[in-house]
Amino acid sequence: MAAKRLSIAFVGALSLLLATPFASQAVSQEKKESPGLSEVLTDLLQGAGSDDTTAGPDRRVPFGREEVQLSYAPLVRQTAPAVVNVYASQTARVRSPFDGDPFFEQFFGRSMPRSQSSLGSGVLVDEAGFIVTNFHVIKDADEVKVAMSDGREFSSKVLMKDESLDLAVLKIESDKPFPTIAIGDSDALQVGDLVLAIGNPFGVGQTTTSGIVSALARSHIGISDSGFFIQTDAAINPGNSGGGLINMGGQLVGINTAIYSRSGGSIGIGFAIPSNMVRAFVEAAKTGRDFFERPYIGATFDVITPQIAESLGMETPYGALVSAVEAGGPSEQAGLKPGDVVLTFNGARIEGVDALGYRLATQPIGTQAELGVLSKGEEKKVDIALVRAPEGASVTQVQLRGRSPFAGAKVADLSPRLAQRLGMSADTKGVAVVEVERNSPAGGFGLLPGDIVREVNGQTIDSARKLSDASQQNARWWRFTIERDGQLMRQVLRY
């Protein structure tokens, strides 16, 4: 063991010697004085790695000043100007128990608005001023400002946002083109690849950290509904959200989104949204869409458990099990049936339902995809059309008025397209809350967009018109059932 330490240390010293202009002269002099020394040095240089069982054949001590001074600095200079700071502010009025009472307002005054703010990062992906960041950075913001690394500040407009993906696209304006980072191919990443994370942690200013890709296709980590994340050990901290994960080619391969931490600081487990999802989201925003549409294939899927895999004759549990097929939809036209298993999507292996949802979301509407399917014990390839989700029989949205807990809410019958807009599964049925006016009774009672009204005063609600009629009742007591995130909530109010 001592011999190994000596040989490595000696080679290190030799590398510094060879970096000097007198290296060749010194070695030549040594050769004259001791003819066998050069052979010994050659053997040491060639065998330094082979003596150490932990070192591979390509690993060695750096030779020369140039290798010792290798740096990420050129890559940071190239990409850092396109990473911006995002400041989101919201003015919220905290209600006082004296609001609305002229006598008490005369002495105590009305409640004053309070300003709330959040800090994050963003990445310029188009020289025209398109910035991608996280939804949670700008959620409910009244004003969003962007600060460049060169000190310039801009007011921005939110073009599109999606809570289920935790993505948002901002737009800033200038007479001159902005610096950008090209969006790379996240599917080309491999575990072990070097990456940089650039952002504004804790508001201290732009910061760059380095690390590797620790894992791919991470799911069920509680960040958002999306279940396909890049994991990295590059240090990511609060304020890094929306910043860039950069590969060694200077391309954006992910948007830093969250960390796993018990203390609130980085412990080397960070997660980023893959750039292929980011690209699809940005392209949708550029076309002027008001929400991010996923291709619709008219089928629902379940997880493949080890027991299901064994019953289907599969060696390992992977893929997505077809549980239901919409009549006349793309899946039925492609020949998919309940009980089939989708194994691949355009050649990419599908590990689970989340992976299939990710692959679908990154594809343009109006194209086709090739699925690898296991059907009745045999594998086959099928082509399926990726279409826009249908509107359904009714697209009318009803504004609720009257003296009820629902006054101020806008509701509509759910269709696959509306369900997508509200971040729900495309097969969700019922009457959903689409919008809620501020300072309305519906807002005061806590109704949220995406809530599904199931029952009001003992009456089953199966259409927006029926809910409108029910909300016109002259009742003092209101009993209603709301479904939110798959859970039923029953409320009894005196109003």
Bridge partners (DSSP) of residue 154 are 146
Quick: pLDDT tens for 113-134: 555 677 899 999 999 999 999 9
Given a cut of 60, whether residue 376 has pLDDT beyond it is yes
Quick: pLDDT tens for 264-276: 666 778 999 999 9
* pLDDT (0 to 100) of residue 142: 87
The CA distance from 220 to 483, in Å, is 22
354 annotated ligand binder: no
Residue that has been written with the tokens 């696209």 in this structure:
169
Residues 399, 473 contacting (CB under 8 angstroms): no
Residues 159, 150 contacting (CB under 8 angstroms): no
Q: What are phi and psi of 354, to 5 degrees?
A: -60, -40
220 annotated ligand binder: no
Q: Residue 424's pLDDT band (boundaries 50, 70, 90)?
A: confident
Q: What mean pLDDT is predicted for residues 303-320? A: 94
**Nearest by Cα to 135 from 234, 251, 278:** 278
* pLDDT (0 to 100) of residue 111: 52
Structural domains for the chain:
2-68 (no CATH), 81-171 (2.40.10.10), 190-286 (2.40.10.10), 299-385 (2.30.42.10), 397-494 (2.30.42.10)
Active-site residue numbers? Answer: 136, 166, 241
Residues 68, 103 contacting (CB under 8 angstroms): no
The CA distance from 328 to 321, in Å, is 19
Given a cut of 60, whether residue 55 has pLDDT beyond it is no
- Those residues whose C-beta lies under 8 Å from the C-beta of residue 372, and which sit 6 or more positions away, are 342, 343, 344, 345, 347, 379, 380, 381
More confident residue, 251 or 418: 251
Poorest-pLDDT segment among 25-39, 407-421, 481-495: 25-39
One-character DSSP codes across 144-189: EEEE-TTS-EEE-EEEEEETTTTEEEEE---SSPPP---B--GGG-
Q: What mean pLDDT is predicted for residues 336-359? A: 94
Q: What mean pLDDT is predicted for residues 341-345? A: 96
* pLDDT (0 to 100) of residue 432: 92
The CA distance from 330 to 337, in Å, is 12
Given a cut of 70, whether residue 56 has pLDDT beyond it is no
**Nearest by Cα to 163 from 430, 355, 424, 391:** 424
* pLDDT (0 to 100) of residue 110: 53
Q: What is the pTM of this model?
A: 0.75
Q: What mean pLDDT is predicted for residues 213-233? A: 75
Given a cut of 60, whether residue 5 has pLDDT beyond it is no
* pLDDT (0 to 100) of residue 379: 94
Highest mean predicted confidence (pLDDT) among 116-120, 150-154, 402-406, 419-423: 150-154
* pLDDT (0 to 100) of residue 222: 52
More confident residue, 284 or 222: 284
The CA distance from 243 to 278, in Å, is 12
The CA distance from 276 to 200, in Å, is 23
* pLDDT (0 to 100) of residue 253: 96
Given a cut of 60, whether residue 444 has pLDDT beyond it is yes
Given a cut of 80, whether residue 150 has pLDDT beyond it is yes
CA dihedral 282, 286, 288, 289 (to 10 degrees): -20
241 annotated ligand binder: yes
The CA distance from 124 to 148, in Å, is 10
* pLDDT (0 to 100) of residue 360: 93
* pLDDT (0 to 100) of residue 25: 39
Q: What mean pLDDT is predicted for residues 444-455? A: 90
